[in-house]
Structure 1
């Protein structure tokens, strides 16, 4: 625990510093100042434990809602899936653990960002299935900027743009990812994305059907 907190910058008396931090944290958690119940921060062999209900932690609620949303989408109830995905995203407030710069915190951030990306993608897919193709465009644009070589994200963005009457932007999206893949990996986009590009180019009527998602997986 000391290594996680301070890494190579361990104070002169690390155990005493740790006890001081724990005491301050207990005071901060005692919001009402009543001390009518035990602190949720308890000692355990080798460290401390937050003894709290899982539903009081945003990350756990985010994960539960995400699982429920994916189950709803699997059952074909995409309206409910969109609602649950929205509830999950409402719990997201900036980059997780942004005030910590230790290696373990960065590892946790990467993992949680991956979960966030999956929720954005799932929400976009469910929205497309119920004809709500414009409202998730800002989030997809941001994901495409953050993950410029992700063909699944590019496909969802292309389809959403096309269904929003923005064929030119959909074609530009394909051109951007194709150029990047050729430049970075020396390879063309996958067959699914190329098929979608061809469909957008010829204004395939099938792209307007909301009962399917002809995009790369």
Structure 2
């Protein structure tokens, strides 16, 4: 069985079929699958599931949802292999290998990609990043609308952003700037004030012979920051703009933005 959090929340049997998950049961599964294999106290689960509208008898409600979740996990006619919702004193444990949850697989692949990149195996690292990013099926926890789920989404979006940036940096170091442009454009739309994203996008555009577009990227970010935040872009980004204006030939080498500028 596999649990999906990177999109709408789903549990799938090994046969591929989705298991039926009533709304309250789905909320509990999400709260437990966030930390697979770890003990989660009753009060923490109650807070995650019913933060805004706590039942009159929250522990009884939690027990009912746990019973329903156990039933759902065995809905394919047999107990899901490797899955157990275990009661411990004062809480529950979703006893499952973290790789059965897509967030666990995503994090493991990203860690492996970073380790592989440090070892100098750029192509292998890019493949690992690609496999990690393919696990995203849209907005994480998209059908769970609770305050706790929103905080979890914020954390996952940050991890997604970091993985995309790590992948883009490797593409740039490998001289494959055209391949990372779509994800950098998407990142720039999602994070309009992110100077690291703007730096990588400007460098990729410049290396692709699109100097005017790279400078437009800087101008747009500066206009947003001045108008909406009351501040200028930082020194690293301003230095990159100056180097692009000067057509610094060293920007065409295997460095990445200001990090390379500082060492050049």
Q: Is the 8 A contact 2:177 2:208 kept in 1?
A: yes
| Matches for 1:84-99 after TM superposition, within 5 Å | 84-99=128-143
Once the two structures are superposed, residues 12-35 of structure 1 have per-residue CA deviations (whole angstroms, 9 ceiling, x without a partner) of 444443333222222221243124
Q: Residue 7 of structure 1 corresponds to which residue in structure 2? A: 51
Aligned residue among 166, 176, 197 for 1:122: 166
Give the superposition deviation at 1:152: 0.8
Cα separation, 1, equivalents of 2:59 and 2:167: 46
Q: Is the 8 A contact 2:82 2:96 kept in 1?
A: no
**TM-score, with structure 2 as normaliser:** 0.74
Q: Segments of 4+ in structure 1 off by > 6 A?
A: none
Q: Larger RCO: Structure 1 or Structure 2 (Cα < 8 Å, ≥ 6 residues apart)?
A: 2
Give the superposition deviation at 1:98: 2.1
Q: Residue 244 of structure 2 corresponds to which residue in structure 1? A: 200
Structure 1: 5+ residue stretches without partners: none
**TM-score, with structure 1 as normaliser:** 0.89
Cα separation, 1, equivalents of 2:229 and 2:251: 29
Q: Residue 255 of structure 2 corresponds to which residue in structure 1? A: 212
* Number of aligned positions between the proteins: 216
Q: Per the alignment, in what secondary structure is the counterpart of residue 41 of structure 1? A: strand
Aligned residue among 134, 140, 163 for 2:178: 134
Q: Residue 67 of structure 1 corresponds to which residue in structure 2? A: 111
Instruction: Identify if the C-alpha distance between structure 1 residues 87 and 36 changes in structure 2 by more than 3 Å, giving closer, same or farther.
Output: closer
| Matches for 1:15-26 after TM superposition, within 5 Å | 15-26=59-70
Q: Residue 154 of structure 1 corresponds to which residue in structure 2? A: 198
Q: Per the alignment, in what secondary structure is the counterpart of residue 135 of structure 1? A: helix
Q: Per the alignment, in what secondary structure is the counterpart of residue 136 of structure 1? A: helix
Cα separation, 2, equivalents of 1:164 and 1:177: 20
Aligned residue among 219, 226, 234 for 1:182: 226
Instruction: Identify if the C-alpha distance between structure 1 residues 35 and 83 changes in structure 2 by more than 3 Å, giving closer, same or farther.
Output: closer
Does residue 145 of structure 2 align to residue 111 of structure 1? no
Structure 2: 5+ residue stretches without partners: 1-44
Mean Cα deviation higher: 78-87 or 23-32: 23-32
Mean Cα deviation higher: 11-20 or 121-130: 11-20
Q: Residue 124 of structure 2 corresponds to which residue in structure 1? A: 80
Cα separation, 1, equivalents of 2:98 and 2:159: 18
Instruction: Identify if the C-alpha distance between structure 1 residues 215 and 36 changes in structure 2 by more than 3 Å, giving closer, same or farther.
Output: closer
Q: Is the 8 A contact 1:97 1:105 kept in 2?
A: yes
Cα separation, 2, equivalents of 1:208 and 1:94: 34
Cα separation, 2, equivalents of 1:131 and 1:150: 23
Instruction: Identify if the C-alpha distance between structure 1 residues 82 and 46 changes in structure 2 by more than 3 Å, giving closer, same or farther.
Output: same
Q: Per the alignment, in what secondary structure is the counterpart of residue 50 of structure 1? A: strand
Q: CA RMSD in A?
A: 2.2
